[in-house]
Amino acid sequence: MTSLALRMKESPIGVFDSGVGGLTVVKSLRRRLPNEQIIYLGDTARLPYGTRSPATVERYAIQTASFLESLNIKMLVIACNTASAVAHGTLRAMYPSMPTLGVIQPGAKQAVRASKSGRIGVIGTEATVSSGAYAKAIAGFNPSAEVVSQACPLFVALAEEGWAEHEAATRLIADRYLEPFRGGRVDTLVLGCTHYPILRDVIADVVGPDVVLIDSGDAVAEEAAILLAASEQLRTSLEPCEDQFFVTDAAGRFRRVAELFLGAALERFETVEL
Ligand code: DGL
């Protein structure tokens, strides 16, 4: 085996999001690929992405991806639905020899598989919903599926704040946003924003037990595992490795919420300027 191939195998997987939300994808990746090293970048200085124009999100995504690429990653995971919706094609074209995974296609595929009625709900940021990316991806897997979408921008702030299911305010907001999905109007709901699985319990409670919730974190982790195995790029070293976390601002706040969410101290953690 050449030293380049070995370096690639042992190289980390790069993951980015606008904030803590992408840690839901990190959790899925750690579960599915426990031997891999992850480098995570949370672009907290410019969060939220979801209320910005596609051109701005694309510019941010290019900068975050370039930072990770400079750290010799073997795969890029766009753990942000907004960035996946508007910039996946651009990033794929920028790095043709590096697998670049977004969260929209795996989430859409899983939703179509799970839905019996073909009536699928999608919640996401304003930018993700208005891009129509989920509706398009779902139609690609099932052209007769009916998609009902709802932007839930306040969910991002609640997740960043670390307010999960037991806060009365979170429940109140969820009741209002999730009204279109109650009463059997959909049988499947895509959590189309990486922050939303943090609020999973309250969302499940509001829509009821008959609605299957789709979290694209697990779906993208599965796709990453398949791709790495197929290209013989799975890390083989038995040496333990530490994940590395970067943010662009408000490090203390990120660290607090991230450690709460991941249930462990962040191993290596730094603030960077892009
Ligand atoms: N993580 C983003 C997403 O999945 C939501 C947060 C934001 O608006 O930046 O769309």
Spatial separation of the C-alpha atoms in residues 154 and 151, rounded to whole Å: 9
**Residue nearest atom 1 of ligand 1, based on CA coordinates:** 80
142-160 confidence digits (pLDDT tens):
999 999 999 999 998 888 7
Residue 219's contacts (CB-CB under 8 Å, 6 or more residues apart) are 103, 106, 107, 109, 110
Domain boundary among 198, 216, 234: 216
- Span from the CA of 193 to the centroid of ligand 1 (angstroms): 6
- Secondary structure (DSSP) of 162-175: T--TT-HHHHHHHH
Whether 210 has a pLDDT exceeding 70, the answer reads: yes
Number of the ligand 1 atom closest to the C-alpha atom of 50? 8
Q: Do residues 78 and 100 make contact, with C-beta atoms less than 8 angstroms apart?
A: yes
The two structure tokens encoding residue 4 = 């380049």
Question: What distance in Å separates the CA atoms of residue 92 and residue 62, rounded to the nearest whole number?
Answer: 11
| DSSP-based three-state secondary structure for 123 | strand
Does 168 share its domain with 149? yes
Q: What is the pTM of this model?
A: 0.93
User: What is the distance in A from the centroid of ligand 1 to the CA of 53?
Assistant: 13
Q: Are residues 230 and 266 in the same domain?
A: yes
Please check whether residues 109 and 171 belong to one and the same domain: yes
Q: Are residues 29 and 42 in the same domain?
A: yes
pLDDT score of 216? 86
Q: What average pLDDT score do residues 127-131 get?
A: 95
Domain count, the chain: 2
Tell me: pLDDT of 182 over 80: yes
CA distance 139 to 55: 25
Residue 174 contacts residue 200 (beta carbons within 8 Å): no
Is residue 166 scored above 70 in pLDDT?
A: no
| Statement to judge: residues 118 and 203 lie in one domain | yes
Identify whether residues 246 and 186 lie together within a single domain: no
pLDDT value, residue 180:
96
CB 181 within 8 A of CB 211: yes
| 82 Cα to the center of ligand 1, angstroms | 6
Same domain, 111 and 198: yes
Q: What is the mean pLDDT of residues 56-68?
A: 98
Q: Do 153 and 209 reside in the same domain of the chain?
A: yes
Cα 72 to ligand 1 centroid, rounded to whole Å: 25
pLDDT tens across 250-272, in order?
A: 999 899 888 888 888 998 999 99
Place of tokens 């939303």: 196
Instruction: Write the residue with the smallest CA distance to atom 7 of ligand 1.
Output: 48
The parent domain of residue 187 ranges over 104-216
Nearest to 48 by CA among 125, 124, 102: 125
Average pLDDT on 164-190 reads: 91
Per-residue pLDDT averaged across 208-228, rounded?
94
Mean pLDDT across the chain:
93
Ligand 1 atom closest to the Cα of residue 196 is 4
Catalytic residues: 80, 193
Q: Whose CA is nearest to atom 2 of ligand 1?
A: 80
Using CA atoms, how far apart are residues 123 and 103, in angstroms rounded to an integer? 14
Report how far residue 81's alpha carbon sits from residue 176's, in angstroms, rounded to the nearest whole number.
22
pLDDT at site 257: 84
**What SS3 class is residue 162?**
coil
Locate the ligand 1 atom nearest the alpha carbon of residue 192 and give its number. Answer: 4
Ligand 1 site, CB within 6 A: 17-18, 21, 47-50, 80-82, 125, 128, 156, 193-195
